[in-house]
Amino acid sequence: MSVVRTTPVPPDVDIAQSADIKPISDIASSYGLEEKYLEHYGTDKAKVRLEFLSDRQGQSRRGKYIDVTAITPTPLGEGKTTTTIGLAQGLGYLGKKSIATIRQPSMGPTFGIKGGAAGGGYSQIVPMTDFNLHLTGDTHAVSAAHNLCAAAIDARIYHESRWSDSYFEKFGLKKLNIDPYSVLWRRVVDMNDRTLRSIIVGLGGLENGPLRETGFDISVASEVMAVLALATSLDDLRRRIGKIVVALDKSGKAVTTEDIGVAGAMTILLKDALKPNALQTLEEQLAFVHAGPFANIAHGNSSITADLIASEISDFVVTESGFGSDMGFEKLMDIKCRSSGLMPDAVVLATVRALKMHGGGPKVTPGKPLSSAYTQENLELLRAGLSNLIAHIEIIGKYGLPVVVSINAFPSDTKAEHELIRDAALKAGAFDAVISRGWSLGGEGCAELALAVDKASSQPHKANLLYPLDMPIKDKIEIIAHEIYGAGTVVYTPEADAAIGKYTDLGYGNFPICMAKTQYSLSHDPAIKGVPRDFDFPVREVRLSAGAGFIVPITGEISTMPGLPSKPAFIGMDIDTMTGRITGLS
């Protein structure tokens, strides 16, 4: 271990910054990942060249593939990343070669609510400060590529309004006749900024283009980020980027990045971002940190390239899907696994604190002290919330996969609470339910979890997908709403209905569904806890992500641009200008 454990457990950033981090070359070589495949960013992180995969073609090694998901979380999270890193370390503790593959966090939530996303306690990825901030610049590359496209669209509209067809023919171009009021492509920035959700462009005179309403999304909601995570090679990336539909022309036909001529330039900006980032855990397991699509407004999983490389050089690949099993896990199965060809061998379901919230506990608000209901034994409240755990076990069961429930131990938990959760999980069909102490004990504290996962992943099983792609778009939406969320009737606005008809007519009806909804409820309404049933499920808007290859129904009041809370996490962050030591990240 690169750090000495102490009691009580220090703040995450103190643990991470006290770690003796090995050169990433040493970590990679212990997995058989040769130096020639590494592109270094300092001594403690590197990108992995995709030539590794082409050079390995024909070799049959494949590590077991484990996904870590969660019950419906509180705004503080359920320790899912800590479980992911702890499990990878726990497998290492048992002598297995394990690799964690997780997303790079957006700086919006880092400075907004979360304060960081590298795990916690003695189950972290290091260097933690780099992980939580710029890392190797992938998110900046996504933002630049996305916004280059936005600028190209507005420039084309402006110049086509000024010049004749013959003028464009001189340059080997033809007019695209983009409808300024049917532009589908917004701009992005990797910060939480609610004032940018709806804006007007073209102000200041005709020389600035036509007036039209648009807005900003957070960068990790960009289709470019989704494409980066799903692409399997540079050629696949270029092909997907060229398929992105950015607008409709005045006859209602799709206009793509290829039509505008910007697809090649966008791919150039992304060529290095496509290579996974190699870091390490506190216990010196390899960790790939790559891509960062949100799970509530995008597909919520790390990159396929990272998983493919990891599966070639490890016994276990431990990945993490965002938020609960209704969100990132469903999208892992129905979107990511369709593209990668990798199917999970077992699923870990992280749980504990949120169960009391689902049982009727007080509201949990970031930045405010937890109610005593969450810090003292309350079996009645816990028992009332167990239905949410059971619902998530049932969701995973629909995909035919064995599930191990990880009971994340918080210092205030009691033995009686843990036993109640374990009993309910086993009765609901979980393969096992074990206490996880990765936060306080690192890999040693996750050894029992690792053993259970090893056994579960060896069980005979057949993974299922929820729906066939040739179903109509509405049927696919409704299967997810009924089977995963427990909804009754799906209600579409006229705008959503029209978009579904348009995208079907344009030939995109066979895409999978990437639902955008709240992560704080199985329903569309974050205030509805527990296990709601037979509610009306509203679809207010439907977007097309043709490059990523999915349809995005937007439900309830979910926003693709978060806002900052009244006391943002950045208020507690600072840097010692003498030592460079960062404080406040967690």
Q: Which residues are identified as catalytic?
A: 80, 82, 103, 114, 295, 323, 410, 439
CB atoms within 10 A of CB 16: 29
Rounded Cα–Cα distance for residues 471 and 263 (Å): 30
Q: Check residue 168 and report its DSSP letter.
A: H
Of 66, 568, 519, which Cα lies nearest the Cα of 326? 519
CB 123 within 8 A of CB 281: yes
Q: Strand (E) positions, 437-576?
A: 490-492, 537-545, 550-555, 574-575
Rounded Cα–Cα distance for residues 20 and 16 (Å): 9
In the block, tokens 């978009």 appear at 499
Q: What are phi and psi of 249, to 5 degrees?
A: -85, 180
Of 283, 279, 280, 278, which Cα lies nearest the Cα of 447? 283
Of 175, 167, 206, 481, which Cα lies nearest the Cα of 326? 481
> How many CA atoms lie within 13 Å of 573's alpha carbon, on the beta-carbon side?
18
Quote the tokens at residue 264: 């090649």
The amino acid that residue 265 corresponds to is A
H/E run at residue 252:
none
CB atoms within 10 A of CB 469: 14
Residue 145, Cα to own-chain centre: how many angstroms?
19
Q: Coil, strand or helix: which one is 46?
A: strand
Which DSSP string do the residues of 283-311 spell out, in sequence order?
T--EEEE-----TTTS--B--HHHHHHHH
Rounded Cα–Cα distance for residues 82 and 120 (Å): 5
